[in-house]
Amino acid sequence: MRVLMVSDVYFPHIGGIAVHIYHLSQELRKLGHEVKVLTTNFSTRLLNGVRYLPDEKNVYRVGRAIVIRSNKSWATLCFGFHLGREVKEVLSQGFDIVHIHGSLAPTLPILVLRHSQAKNLITLHSYYRKSKGYTFFRPFLLPYFRKLDGIIGVSKAAVEATQRYFPGDYCIIPNAIDPIQFSPDIPPLPQFLNRSPRLLFVGRFEPKKGLKYLLQALPLVKEVFPNFLLLVVGTGLLGYSYKEYIKESVRENVFFCGAVNPKDIPSYYATCDLLCAPSVDCESFGIILLEAMACGKPVVASNIPGYKEVVSDGEDGFLVEPRSPQAIAEGIIKICSSEERKRSMGEAGRRKALQYSWEKIGKRVEMFYRQLIEGEGTRPSLRER
């Protein structure tokens, strides 16, 4: 099959959707399919020295990317004077499958659906309680949803978020990880091993990620573990404004790593004793949870819809009350106070993560493609509400 992945976001923008598309494309190629990616042109500016452009020979870039505020996060839109013509030129190469990732929104996904003659599907990666865009623009978007031959959600939360606006048949195929890239055998970073326990945060600097609540929890952690270290991996449009939430008493216990090349991320998981994921809302799955588990690390994560589908509370980590520094600190202290608990949770997480390998998920997506081509997929029978 000839497959075209479509997304407003892709490398060098570092995020869950970009990682998902890259690994899914690689897995489908292993299965014998030709896979290309259609995305936007991002700034050539380096992000903290990181410019990650893997597999660029299989990427078509059109228009220009702009970033806007959306659903307590940041969204990327594609614009350009000749965008429609460029999209049609790419589609004219003849694809069997056009696979959109993200939300069905202007401009690139809409233009692709307008001109595509292939079997069209979308993978929904987002969770939100309410969407102003879908509320106001549902009449405009409904014809494009009806052009979809299949809809996939990475989780039940992702499906329910969109299904309330566009009822129909959806299929859940979760995110995945590479259990070789993310493994307990990865060596740690030696420069951080003089501190213990070592905590890790991985994510963009934006309100929904809940970093400020983790930082506010640190004085409580220091009362029990004076020599702890928190590694903060990530960056974002909010810059380092989060430093204002760090109490003077714990400043020496926090290290901001900045943006990290994705190929180096496993070393940070290997270095930590546990992952902290304090997001307050709007998480559809939490790929970082699987990455940590695959490395044999327990997690302390917020008890929110997307995370509850990944973490088994008390088995491979703890689910804690969102926005609660006290609850975050208690989860960290419980795990770090018992080597046996830390070990058993890490082993349980590794066993779970192996069920989410790209080899397994890639075959499920391939089967879904074949069902669409044979007319047996989950074509959305979208109806008026």
Q: What is the pLDDT of residues 205-217, one digit of tens each?
A: 888 999 999 999 9
pLDDT confidence band for 238 (50 / 70 / 90): low
Closest CA to 181 of 36, 69, 54: 54
How many Å apart are CA 122 and CA 163, to the nearest integer?
Answer: 13
Domains of the chain with CATH codes: 2-176+357-373 (3.40.50.2000), 190-356 (3.40.50.2000)
pLDDT of residue 12: 81
Between 384 and 334, name the one with better pLDDT. Answer: 334
pLDDT, residue 242, reads 82
Instruction: Label residue 131 by pLDDT band (50, 70, 90).
Output: confident
Give the span between the Cα atoms of 108 and 14, in whole angstroms.
19
Is the pLDDT score of 178 beyond 80?
Answer: yes
Over the stretch 134-151, which tens digit does the pLDDT of each residue have? Answer: 999 999 999 999 999 999
pLDDT, mean of residues 164-185: 96
Asked which of 41-50, 119-128, 325-334, 364-373 is least confident by mean pLDDT, the reply is 41-50
pLDDT digits (tens, 9 = 90+) for 20-46: 999 999 999 999 999 999 999 875 544
Mean pLDDT, residues 114-118 taken together: 97
**Residue 53: its pLDDT value, please?**
64
Residue 77 pLDDT > 90: no
246-to-219, 241, 299, 330 alpha-carbon distances in Å: 9, 10, 22, 18
Q: pLDDT, tens digit, for every residue of 187-199?
A: 999 999 999 999 9
Q: What is the pLDDT of residue 45?
A: 45
Q: What is the pLDDT of residue 46?
A: 42
Q: In this model, does residue 336 exceed pLDDT 80? A: yes
For all residues of the chain together, what is the average pLDDT? Answer: 91
**Total-model pTM:** 0.89
What is the arithmetic mean of pLDDT over 7-17?
85
pLDDT at 78: 77
Smallest CA-to-CA distance from 8 within 116, 93, 80 is with 80
Top pLDDT among 74 and 82 is at 82
